[in-house]
Amino acid sequence: MPDFGGTDTVAPQSLTQSAQEKLRQLVARIEKLEEEKKSISDDIKETYAEAKGTGFDSKVLRQVVRYRKQDRTEREEQETVRDLYLHALGEI
Model confidence pLDDT, tens digit, residues 4-45: 555 566 666 789 999 999 999 999 999 999 999 999 999 999
CA 45 – CA 67 distance, rounded (Å): 18
User: Which residue from 72, 38, 75, 44 is spatially nearest to 58, judged by alpha carbons?
Assistant: 44
Q: What's the pLDDT at 13?
A: 72
Q: What's the pLDDT at 92?
A: 83
Specify the pTM. 0.65
